[in-house]
Amino acid sequence: MVISGYAPGRSGKHAVEILQGFEGILQVDGYAGYNRVLDLRDNAPIQLAYCWAHARRKLYELTHNNVAPIAEEGLKQIAAL
């Protein structure tokens, strides 16, 4: 199911209001504001599913800048999917 909502800003408080009573998996990007919905766990179990594009981009940056050679293994595993 896909639901779209509008809020006058990106604050995590808006996500909390919109998702009150929601149970399930919530696909989100890397924005930390979505972490606030985890505070709803007492009322409804929510599991965050983070965006693969954001994860891949971080691994690519680490590999490209030679910061963490192990990041290349992560890129290979994502490519295999």
pLDDT digits (tens, 9 = 90+) for 30-79: 788 888 887 655 556 888 888 889 889 999 999 999 989 899 999 999 99
d(CA 20, CA 48): 15
Residues 39 and 6 in one domain: yes
To 10 degrees, the CA torsion angle through 53, 59, 60, 62? Answer: 150
Residues 22 and 37 in one domain: yes
pTM: 0.64
62 is in which domain, residue-wise? 51-81
Residues 18 and 43 in one domain: yes
Residues 44 and 79 in one domain: no
pLDDT confidence of residue 64? 93
**What are 24's strand-pairing partners?**
46
Q: How many domains does the chain have?
A: 2
Residues 69 and 36 in one domain: no
22 backbone φψ class: left, alpha, beta (φ>0; ψ -120 to 50): beta
